[in-house]
Amino acid sequence: MSLHYKRILLKLSGESLMGKQQFGIDPEMLKYYASQIKTATLQGVQVAVVIGGGNIFRGLDDHNSGVEKVQGDYMGMLATCINGMALLSALETAGVYTRLISAIEMRQIAEPYIRRRAIRHLEKGRVVIFSAGTGNPYFTTDSAAALRSSEIGADVILKGTRVDGIYDSDPEKNPNAIKYEHISYSEAISKNLKVMDMTAFTMCQENKMPIIVFDINVADNLKHIIEGEKVGTLVS
């Protein structure tokens, strides 16, 4: 079996961990994502993960919240660390060697981000979970995925979502929405398609980092993508 991608960055939203709950972490979803990642590592793929924190806390823009924007962003970064710790536990329970790396220093629970050390972990077959975003306010976890994927020399960003690709309108609201099999960066920008936030998207475009948006809740999708099958929507 030949691998189409040998080093991937998997981007998961925090909301994906909620399952059917209103907030928090669904243990079944945690086990499911751990099994998906384990399957990829057994194929011989080097896997890095960036996970959001929206299931625990979303950055606050509302002036009436009592929390200023910068503090809200840092609170969101800490939420990604909680998710990262949960995913690390699930992966290690499944027998996968994993390292949690944080962009904000917290030595008791995570390694600080050092690029060369992160790459070495990947080369040794360990899954690397990048938490705390970029470590800076005003940047999303999409931006963290765009940044880290380029820094570690990933072949592709795989953005796992609830839908099976990118559409010209919301397929959950419009049954006639048209799916794109392949779209260029410039088309996605001009059509204002919500692939990632604009900062992240521009970074991917500048570094020629392809993005595949796919439905992670279909069990074999990740495996098929790694083997080079056409799944979801490719942005390149």
84 in a structural domain:
yes
Residues of the chain above pLDDT 70, percent? 97
Collapse the DSSP code of 8 into the 3-class scheme (helix H, G, I; strand E, B; otherwise coil) and give the result: strand
Domain containing 118: what range? Answer: 7-235
Between CA 151 and CA 59 the distance in angstroms is 25
CB atoms under 10 Å from CB of 108, counted, come to 4
Average pLDDT, stretch 15-33?
A: 90
| CATH code where residue 222 lies | 3.40.1160.10
Between CA 126 and CA 227 the distance in angstroms is 20
2 in a structural domain:
no
225 in a structural domain:
yes
Closest C-alpha to 80, from 107, 60, 59, 98 = 59
173 in a structural domain:
yes
Total structural domains within the chain:
1
Reported confidence tier of residue 123, pLDDT bands at 50, 70, 90: very high
Average pLDDT, stretch 162-188?
A: 88
1 in a structural domain:
no
- 3-state DSSP of 50-65: EECCCCCCCCCCCHHH
Average pLDDT, stretch 175-188?
A: 89
181 in a structural domain:
yes
